[in-house]
Structure 1
């Protein structure tokens, strides 16, 4: 399709892409599990101090650089300086490689829930492979499939992310409608509502100051991923109006959706009963709590409707199956956005001379060779982790620790660069929310402090629990990725200087 007739993202398509990249339904169920109704306060606080002001910054950036293909790199390079921008963008990109390894092998758990009603992945053993090895092989095939389909262009990605966004929206509809029906039929909330419930967690592990701070970090990270769509500004129809509108609408809907969703969980979930008796022999973890909770919703709905115990159990299983299908479709949608958008921003935004010429080749407006190399790296890491035994799995835990902080430090880079963006009068700004210098400074200070605090706490928390190595690797990650980026960019600068 020629550039003249290429379809661009509409407002609805953009909102659905943002929704699949940011909104995590499991963040609702995990929040209720960790803090009960008290989590609402911290999610609202995280939205006010980080998500909304940061979303408004991205809206201004996006409208100003509406014709730019480079996303966050160009925003920071034009507003602050190129080396600073390259370090932040490279660090951010490296964390998504590990995300792909993690989700590429983990996405089969919701699919198993969709098919069987429970996670049976550990029992899969075709051709004598172990459960972990089977997930590794499936993950490798998955990366190949996503890369091939994505390389066909944005139209194919748009269709999948729309399905993913719709699936996330529908599981919320199931939560809200199911919860309301149960509330109306029972005439009371399963988890009692009181002023105390909104400030104190029913979970004994989340009552100390340190644990509450760790939850604030969790709430901030629940809003991560919005910057990924920075690479889609040039793909958006009437970008200077549509992009800020899409980001703003998405940010408000996501913040309100989290708060209302957590409250609705209380219509069918009594914290003490659900997490101490209902699961039976099943140990509740952050990985399976969403399925246990939605299974419970179906079970409670059956009882509220007056059906038999056996029928209530079956309704619970079917709701759990639907939850698995929705999560599978949602993660698929997120995968299709994340397999190309961070890479596109890194390769197309940064100076071409930083990269081997081979990597800068584009087809269907996608960095096709770079996508293949990326797929090769992810596949190699999946194979190493899946077939390398305990040592390899320990290595992967190290990688996760290294990238936890690397994923969010670039938010601070973007926030700091925003000061330079607002100062530069030569940058045309067709959309502005921060109209005064004091508003801008306040927003930058608050966002930078909140993300900085979250990262410092993420680094020191493992050490307080005796896991010193996790703390060391959390610090080492940004340092290692930052040094690699500095070396690459310094080589580029020397090459440019010698040519000049």
Structure 2
């Protein structure tokens, strides 16, 4: 077997990469904290009207363009035109750049929970520097370290994302088996009782999620929880037997993730009561995952007759395990997303778009571009960390800008899909949508669902809370990224004419 064949992704490696890129274990405790059982219908709606039809589109695209290195750019350029493709791909890439800045500084929270059993990052104060500055330094080191490993080739990334994927699966096994054991020990009683039939699954126990405006806003949250599957589009050319393995991997991942989210939220009601635990003022979206899983460990130990002190110790160790698993999962996602969006942007687009050595590749990686990316991200992290309150406020605005920008490309890909289906010159070795009409309906459903979620995400801060600046930034982000993309493409067209 050749060295290249050995480095190719198998079905299991691909599924684990998709799993670590899309599936966020923390989405379930956060959903239960915000909506209780009421989160389940919204997650199912997100799966039915967005994730499953969208994932099947990605599977068809991936099988048809199995030899293309440019991922989603190549797909959209072939289906519609290069300018349409470049704007959509650039907006998508820009949002992942800010994602890297964010995760580089927050990944230390789960690691701290793994080591110390609680978040110690806010109490770091050495050599007269605040915790914010230390997190900035650690974040800059992290991005440089991950880039150094990633530029060595796909085989290094495969090993790390596999560990991350198995860590997330382990957490789900603990949640599922632990929840069922608690149910048996408690004689079939749920800690969060299902008292009003279907009403239990439509009404949130959270006082902040009672108005129609706040409840509908949860659809946006559910759709964002399913994002990221297009990031692995750039892996088609590195997948073994791509025309069969890639669509199968996407399909398996989509079904498992969709069912897993809803089942996980339901199981949490077995061992945690919203009013007793999650209504406390100390609980928030940042720490709720550790509180929920610590409570599972405590309830299990208590159910087996252990003392109060021993039960608390078991709970603390489960929280540590969650911290370690989430650190490994985030690491796996980081190693995939540090290169996949950039690879698709660089390898798919015309080389003349990029100055200098940016378009160079080494070991299948855009190594030089990755180093520039790492430098930009590290500088941004340090500027934000050492820039005081104004810099922190700026970063919060950047995150607001990218929340919508990250999902706009889903609409680009969905809009391009009927054009892709209509072109007979494109060989399609794998099809789920058998006719053009079915493909068109799926495209419209996905586009409307994401469009509705985005419009609501933009106007909700202003309408519900009076934060019109956030509304302006949320809507302005995609516009800004689109203007930059159009300017870059216009410059390229001018060069070609000259």
Residue of structure 1 in register with 2:29 after alignment? 29
1:363, CA displacement in angstroms? 0.8
Q: Tell me, what secondary structure is at the counterpart of 2:7?
A: coil
1:302, CA displacement in angstroms? 1.7
Q: Is the aligned partner of 1:400 residue 2:399? A: yes
Residue of structure 2 in register with 1:283 after alignment? 282
How far apart in 1 are the matches of 2:484 and 2:77?
A: 18
1:212, CA displacement in angstroms? 1.1
Equivalent in 234, 246, 267 of residue 243 of structure 1: 246
Kindly provide the CA deviation profile for residues 406-447 of structure 1, in whole angstroms up to 9, marking residues without a partner as x.
100000000001111011110000001111122111101100
Q: Tell me, what secondary structure is at the counterpart of 2:283?
A: coil
How far apart in 2 are the matches of 1:326 and 1:312?
A: 21
1:6, CA displacement in angstroms? 4.7
Mind listing any 5+ residue stretches in structure 2 that lack a counterpart?
none
1:494, CA displacement in angstroms? 1.6
Kindly provide the CA deviation profile for residues 87-106 of structure 1, in whole angstroms up to 9, marking residues without a partner as x.
00000000001100100000
Q: Is the aligned partner of 1:331 residue 2:330? A: yes
How far apart in 1 are the matches of 2:136 and 2:494?
A: 41
Structure 1 residues 250 and 303: CA distance shift in structure 2, 3 A: same
Residue of structure 2 in register with 1:445 after alignment? 444
1:5, CA displacement in angstroms? 4.5
How far apart in 2 are the matches of 1:373 and 1:175?
A: 41
Following TM superposition, the consecutive aligned residue runs of length 4 or more in structure 1 with deviations greater than 6 angstroms are none
Q: Is the aligned partner of 1:224 residue 2:223? A: no
How far apart in 1 are the matches of 2:260 and 2:359?
A: 39
How far apart in 2 are the matches of 1:3 and 1:302?
A: 49
How far apart in 2 are the matches of 1:144 and 1:301?
A: 41
Q: Tell me, what secondary structure is at the counterpart of 1:172?
A: helix
How far apart in 2 are the matches of 1:6 and 1:180?
A: 40
Q: What RMSD, in angstroms, separates the aligned Cα atoms of the two structures?
A: 1.2
Q: Tell me, what secondary structure is at the counterpart of 1:426?
A: coil
Q: Is the aligned partner of 1:212 residue 2:211? A: no
Q: Is the aligned partner of 1:183 residue 2:183? A: yes
TM-score when scaled to structure 1?
0.97
Residue of structure 1 in register with 2:462 after alignment? 463
1:218, CA displacement in angstroms? 0.3
Q: Map 1:94-493 to 2 at 5 A.
A: 94-187=94-187, 188-193=189-194, 194-276=197-279, 283-464=282-463, 465-493=465-493
1:401, CA displacement in angstroms? 1.2
Kindly provide the CA deviation profile for residues 370-420 of structure 1, in whole angstroms up to 9, marking residues without a partner as x.
000000110011001110000100110111111111100000000001111
How far apart in 2 are the matches of 1:124 and 1:112?
A: 11
Larger deviation: 61-70 or 203-212? 203-212
How far apart in 2 are the matches of 1:475 and 1:261?
A: 33
How far apart in 2 are the matches of 1:33 and 1:305?
A: 27
TM-score when scaled to structure 2?
0.98
Structure 1 residues 217 and 117: CA distance shift in structure 2, 3 A: same
Q: Tell me, what secondary structure is at the counterpart of 2:70?
A: coil
Q: Is the aligned partner of 1:45 residue 2:48? A: no
Structure 1 residues 116 and 122: CA distance shift in structure 2, 3 A: same
1:3, CA displacement in angstroms? 6.3
Kindly provide the CA deviation profile for residues 218-251 of structure 1, in whole angstroms up to 9, marking residues without a partner as x.
0000000000000000010000000000000000
